[in-house]
Every structure is written in C-alpha cells, then in structure tokens.
Amino acid sequence: GVQVDDVRSRMMDGNFDYHQNGRELRISWYSLEENYKNTGDPLFEMDLSNVPSEGIAPSDLVVEELSEAASPLAEVYDLTTLRIPVIASRNDAECTVYPNPSFGKSILRLVAPENGICTVRIVDAQGRLITTESTFELTKGVNELSLPTEGQADGLYSVQVVYSSLENKGLHGAFIKTLPLTIRK
C-alpha cells in the first residue's frame, strides 16, 4: 500500500509527531504557542511512495477524531477545519484559462513537467461538446494554447484538459483537470 516517507509541518510554531500503522497515519500536534492559520493554509506536507498508478483522490482519505490524552493547556482544532482539498503529484502539469471571463478569445496556459500530449475539450453547462476535441503536442515548460471560443453564446462552460507525458501515453499516468470558463460578449 501507500507508504508515508516523510511528513513536514507547515506551522510556524510547535511541532508534531507522526506514525504510520498499516493504512492509518496518526499525527499528533503539540504547541505551547498559538498558531494562526487561514482557511486553506496547509498544516503539513507529505512525501508518499507506492502510490497507485491512478493516483490518490481526496475521497480516498478520511480524517477521523481520535481520543488522546492531552495537556489541559492544549488548543483543540475542530475537525471541521481539517480538509484535504488537493492531492497533487510533483509531476502534475499546472494549467489555467485566461482571460476568464472571456470576451471571444481564451488561452489555456499549461506548464508541462516534460514533453507530452494534451487533449482539450470545451463543453457547455449541459455537458454537450461545443468544439471539436483538439490534441496538442507540448514541450517541457510553459505552453499557451488558443481555445476556440469565438462565436459561443454567453454562459458557463468547462474546459477539460488531459495531459500525458510522451512516456505515459494514454490515461495511465495522465493529468486530468476540468477548468471553469465564463463566456461573455
């Protein structure tokens, strides 16, 4: 199964201990100082090995409340504030669509970790394909692709991006992302 190689705190003060036992990872935070985290700020980062080829989805992970003996001075973090919104491989491509909202022309900016192939589809709010599926060859680094949004009606659309390195053709090892796009005239 997935192995946790290292866990690093992203909190300025205090520290924590961690231990993996089979499929369970226990993290115990302790601090004598107050920590001020904003919504969405990471509490920790992990290095994982033996990750399945299809990756790990946030829905594969569960955060559970455990009853542990703690110092009466300890500050309790409510579990509703703990979220696992993004799990990304270091090899994932980064992509954005701009301008958004679009007024006739849009660009897909994709930063590829290595040479690869990218397939792009644009669908409307009902899931209908509004453009022909386009395939692009990408080079390592920044790639900017013109999206065919001219002549489309005002509304909300989704840009579906599938990126795969040349070594991992097909969906095995692919990066898949859906980006929102608003079109206005």
What pLDDT digit, counting tens, does each position of 137-146 carry? 999 889 999 9
For residue 45, give the nearest of 4, 77, 76, 78 by alpha carbon. Answer: 4
Q: Which domain holds residue 142?
A: 94-183
Higher pLDDT, 7 or 181: 181
As a whole number of angstroms, the distance between CA 19 and CA 17 comes to: 7
Task: Give the three-state DSSP class for 54.
Answer: coil
End residue of a domain, out of 25, 46, 81 = 81
How many folded domains does the chain comprise? 2
pTM for the full predicted model: 0.50
pLDDT, residue 75, reads: 55
In a domain, 44, yes or no: yes
Same domain, 98 and 179: yes
pLDDT, residue 145, reads: 92
Measure CA 37 to chain center. 20
End residue of a domain, out of 47, 81, 115 = 81
pLDDT, residue 83, reads: 46
pLDDT digits (tens, 9 = 90+) for 23-39: 777 777 665 556 666 76
In a domain, 33, yes or no: yes
As a whole number of angstroms, the distance between CA 145 and CA 97 comes to: 9
End residue of a domain, out of 81, 109, 143 = 81
Which amino acid, 71?
A: S
Higher pLDDT, 169 or 11: 11
